[in-house]
Amino acid sequence: MQLLDGKLLSENIKSELAAEVDQMVAKGAKRPHLAAVLVGENAASQVYVQSKIRSCEQVGFKSTLIRQEADITEAELLKIVDQLNQDPDVDGFIVQLPLPKHIDEERITLAIDHRKDVDGFHPINFGRMAQGLPAFLPATPYGILEILRRYNIETAGKHCVVVGRSNIVGTPMSILLSRKGYPGDCTVTLTHSRTKDLPGEVRRADIIVAAIGIPQFIKGDWVKDGAVVIDVGINRIEDASRKSGTRLVGDVDFEAVAPKCSHITPVPGGVGLMTVAALMMNTLKACKKEIYQ
């Protein structure tokens, strides 16, 4: 069993980006600029956004963090989105999800200029991705493609089972892995809470992408010998043996699954760090106008 080291890969990607930014800036180009909007006090969101801002520093991007109270109105948030859309210095921006219940996430996502949508959540980017056109790819699936690519994992003709059909991970992942080319050309099964015999479906997989948001959901006897396992989950569970009283686990029962598979991503240190690296790649593309002129 080989660990798919998201920490190492994300550091490699960030070094590559930093070198490119140095070169661009030395030639007089503008420094890439990512803005992040964080609403409320969600603890996980605060950690994720801090990690994005810290990564900007590491790669030499300018970053702006816009923090707002949880009681901000939808209209006020839309105004911030519009200002970021209009700001010529901002290449790309994200609005960290989830948002408070009184704000319609779909309305916010639709308001973001698709040319600055470095999360790849706007339907224009989603539709272009589905058609194989140049698009900002959603950061988590993009990070997973980079893991497969950088570890030279064969995908053509493989049976991939994606567990979870969210708009930001499961559904785009199923589309990307079924697209033509590498990493792709998989035969994909997209499973969800209404799937009959989920263990049976997962057992058929050469590649498993677990993105269901339930701690240690995928069990050892659901996994075929030699499967590649990509664990998207980041769940905090109680653990009395730790000083903090908690620890992070994925959507896969790592202890039981790891001995059976050929490759597996750890949690932490796997997909999460690659999501941030992918966001940095998208921000550079936005600055270079690689996707949209």
Contacts of 124 (CB under 8 A, 6+ apart): 114, 117, 135
Count of Cβ atoms closer than 10 Å to residue 149 Cβ: 13
By beta-carbon proximity to ligand GUN, the closer residue of 135 and 202 is: 135
CB of 153 to ligand GUN, least distance (A): 23
User: Rounded to whole angstroms, how far apart are CA atoms 289 and 293?
Assistant: 5
* Strand partners of residue 235: 249
DSSP-derived pairing of the beta strands 246-249 and 2-3: unpaired
End-to-end CA distance of the chain: 44
By beta-carbon proximity to ligand GUN, the closer residue of 145 and 257 is: 145
Q: Order of strands, edge to edge, in the sheet holding 2-3?
A: 2-3, 263-264, 228-231, 207-210, 159-163, 187-191
Contact with ligand GUN (CB under 6 A): which of 63, 96, 109, 265?
96
Catalytic residue selected from 5, 91, 117, 119: 119
139 binds ligand GUN (CB under 6 A): yes
| b/e map 170-188, b = 16+ CB within 10 Å | bbbbbbbbbbeeebbebeb
CB of 27 to ligand GUN, least distance (A): 31
The residue range among 57-65, 90-98, 148-156, 241-249 that interacts with ligand GUN, by the rule CB under 6 A, is 90-98
Q: Confirm whether 185 is a catalytic residue.
A: no
The residue range among 65-73, 93-101, 144-152, 210-218 that interacts with ligand GUN, by the rule CB under 6 A, is 93-101
Contact with ligand GUN (CB under 6 A): which of 5, 91, 117, 119?
119
Q: Confirm whether 96 is a catalytic residue.
A: yes
Question: Which string of x and - marks every residue 140-179 that binds ligand GUN (by CB under 6 A)?
Answer: x---------------------------------------
Catalytic positions? 52, 96, 119
